[in-house]
Amino acid sequence: MIDFVQYLSTGLMTGSMYALLGVAFVIIYKACKIFNFAQGELLLLGGFVSWTLLAQGYLPFWLTVFLTLCLAFALGFVIEWFPLRSMVGQPILSIIMVTLGLSILLRSVFLTLWGATLRPYPEIFSPKPLELGPFIFSQQHLWSFISCIGFLSIFALFFRFTSVGLIMRAVAEDQILAKSTGARINRYIGLSWAIACVISSIAGIFLSAINGVNIGLAEYGLKAVAAALVGGLESIGGAVCGGLIIGLAEVLSTAYLGHGISEVAAFVILVMVLIIKPHGLFGLSKIERV
Amino acid sequence: MRLPGGVFSQSYFQDLAVFRTGPQWFCFVLFMVCLVLLPILFGSYFLSIVSVIAITIISVHGLNLLTGYCGQISLGHAAFMGVGAYISAIMVNTYEISFWIALPCAGLGAAFVGMLFGLPSLRIKGLYLALATLAAHYIIMYVISHAGDITGGTAGMEAPRPTFFGLRLDSATGYYYLLIGMTFLMTFFAKNMARTRVGRNFIAIRDNDKAAEIMGISLFRYKIMAFGIGCFYAGVAGSLWAHYMTVIDPDHFLLINSIWYVGILIVGGMGTTVGVFFGVIFLKGIEVAATEAGPMIAKMIPAIGNTIAASLAQFVLALIIILFLVYESRGLAHRWELIKASFRIWPFPY
């Protein structure tokens, strides 16, 4: 029983990363109906840039995070401007291929600049595990879980209570109506990309603080797409749930079915959900007319 | 197909023909003669490039039937190729069955696996189907690399070169002729498949699946058939790849290969047979050029280091695919039609 609770908590903490990435995916999808397969590379950006600033620039952690997120914010606007602005409304295959192409492009740039070796991240959180009664938590996981919830609530409040957040929700709801009220659509879609980039970079910083930074971290991006789909593409809450489900599935399958299976656990769950409930657990099923 | 002035169809048989005019036949025969003479004229490096191009063409023909004609997005094509490659290698290596039986078996096995993973296509499409095939890719490659007793796991597996009526195809030249023959055969079937009832039904499903079903086309049957045929091509290409490389391991069939296959289709032009040739030759040419240029750039600018050599080809290919999607989403085949049209109507603008 203690083991199970332990696995459960580890699963939720792993899942919180997928939840963050899934939310980034859903924000972009809702704003402009583009599926961002380059999520994993935006995550790498956070990891690599913050690693460089920390390990080679010797900057304090808070300044590193701030600078990395500023860069991610700018990059979001850039990739919205090219190539994705012209892809709105194109066939689905084109959209998928543009973001897949973008992901390979970014990955080759990272490979050129930082190489393929695993780079250990400077210690930010104490590696000493935290003991609460019979349970043991790794401090790194715990802190990233808490910050994850913190960031998610900040973004939720941002969308709920600020006027910019309100306009962004309006753009996601109905672009033509939003346009007729005078909102500059492109600017807000760009802002959605920027916010999604920032969220991915946050996840990237935490993941590389836990695992060290390496080009292989991009795998998380595809699993996050799976998380967003499991939750249903339309809802941010669904993406959080999907992320947690996938995180739990990975940890529990490793614990009870053996090592190595966690690589495919996310995709097995995805296929099962797609067969049973094609529009995800919280998605809206669209009625199509000819 | 627009015909040059003065060429008319006087019988149904003429109307059906792929090659209509003398110059077309001349070009075709010249092309085939060039291919046959290639090993005599060029070195082994060039021959190896053409061999890989031939295998890729076979594989992309399958993807073209599945995605280009039937509109079912597949991001798992490399894995289906892997299924074919491993079936063929296991049959020839472990059970010592002749390559000529293993080759069609590899195609059929891959077709079966493809149809299995194509089953969800009945309920889902678009992004969801792309993700389902992506999941298929990961699941298939997981099974291959963890079934070490049968497939050799990550260490890989040997696949010896075949013999042909006692004639061993050990040399690169011998195997090259086999590849050319297979490519010709598979292209012939792909081109004609697209023009028959099956191909027209695929196009109807791609353009509007609901309307196609109302017209009496069984979506279930034809979508599954598209997956079957597409993956049959992938399986055959995989088998040829295995016996070309003589050693295969799971790293030959990565997700990035699947992405390149779809990229080839986009650059060449979806839903055209000639586009497959354009796409494969164009992108392979660029890749070879980038691989040659990489070490030179690394030598000129040592600050970037050797990593540029590894990533330059990927960078250039990804950039080309993005540029094609933004500026010419109908691909090189469409450009080719425009060039031909401008020659045909010259000197008038229309």
CATH classification at residue A34? 1.10.3470
With beta carbons less than 8 A apart as the criterion, state whether B237 and B62 touch.
Answer: yes
Predicted interface score ipTM higher than 0.95: no
> What domain range is A223 assigned to?
2-125+134-276
Q: Above 50 in pLDDT, residue A290?
A: no
The domain boundary, picked from B218, B250, B282, lies at B250
Residue-level pLDDT at A235: 82
Residue range A164-168: average pLDDT?
90
Q: What is the pLDDT of residues A100-137, one digit of tens each?
A: 999 999 999 998 888 888 888 888 777 777 777 777 77
Residues B65 and B214 in one domain: yes
Substitution target in B264, B325, B327, B328 with the highest count of A β-carbons within 10 Å is B325
B202 domain residue, yes or no: yes
Q: Are residues B279 and B243 in the same domain?
A: no
Integer-rounded Cα radius of gyration of chain A = 19
- Weakest-pLDDT range from A8-17, A254-263, B53-62: A254-263
Give me chain A's average pLDDT, please: 87
Number of domains in chain A: 1
DSSP H helices in chain A: 2-32, 39-51, 61-79, 92-114, 139-161, 163-173, 175-180, 185-211, 219-231, 236-257, 262-276
pLDDT in tens, A264-282: 898 999 888 888 888 888 8
Between CA A183 and CA A179 the distance in angstroms is: 5
Which residues of B fall within a CB distance of 8 Å from A35? 127
8 Å CB contact between B298 and B292? no
Please tell me whether residues B53 and B158 are part of one structural domain: yes
Which pair of tokens denotes residue A201? 């970079």
Q: Is the pLDDT reported for residue A288 higher than 70? A: no
The pLDDT of residue A286 is 60
Gap from A284 CA to chain B (nearest CA, Å):
14
Q: Quick one: pLDDT at residue A289?
A: 47
User: Are B240 and B305 found together in one domain?
Assistant: no
Name the domain boundary from B250, B284, B312: B250
Residues B246 and B280 in one domain: no
B90 and B231 inside one domain: yes
In chain A, residues with a C-beta closer than 8 Å to the C-beta of B315 are: 104-105, 108-109, 112
B169 lies in some domain: yes
| Residues B245 and B299 reside in one and the same domain | no
Rounded distance, CA B345 to CA A114, Å? Answer: 53
What per-residue confidence (pLDDT) applies to A200? Answer: 94
Question: Does any CB of chain A come closer than 8 Å to the CB of residue B303?
Answer: no
B98 touches chain A (CB under 8 A): no
CA dihedral B237, B262, A227, A111 (to 10 degrees): 90
Q: Is residue B4 part of a domain?
A: no
Residue type, A31: A
Cα separation, B195 vs A65, whole angstroms = 58
Q: Does residue A103 lie in a domain region?
A: yes
Same structural domain, B235 and B285: no
- Which of B120, B136, B329 faces A94 most closely, judged by CB atoms? B329
Q: Are residues B169 and B284 in the same domain?
A: no
> Which among B135, B142, B307 has CB closest to A271?
B135
* Structure confidence at residue A42 as a pLDDT band (50, 70, 90): very high
In a domain, B224, yes or no: yes
pLDDT value at position B151? 84
Q: Are residues B308 and B276 in the same domain?
A: yes
* Average pLDDT of adjacent 10-residue blocks, chain B of 350 residues: 77 86 91 92 90 96 95 94 95 89 95 92 84 92 87 84 74 89 95 93 93 93 95 97 92 93 94 94 94 84 72 92 92 92 80
Q: Do the domain assignments include residue B157?
A: yes
What is the domain count for chain B? 2
Please give the pLDDT value at position A115: 82
Please report whether residue A289 resides in a domain: no
Which element (helix H / strand E) includes A130? strand A130-132
Q: Are residues B189 and B295 in the same domain?
A: no
Residue B324 pLDDT? 94
Collapsed DSSP state (helix, strand, coil) of residue B329: coil
- Whole-model pTM? 0.93
B28 falls within a domain: no
Tell me whether A98 touches chain B (CB under 8 Å): yes
The DSSP-derived string for B249-279 is: -GGGS-HHHHHHHHHHHHHH-TT-HHHHHHH
Domain coverage including residue B226: 41-250
- Asked if B136 is an interface residue toward chain A (Cβ–Cβ < 8 A), one would say yes
Mutation for testing the A interface, residue in B64, B72, B119, B128 having most A CBs under 10 Å: B128
A254 in a structural domain: yes
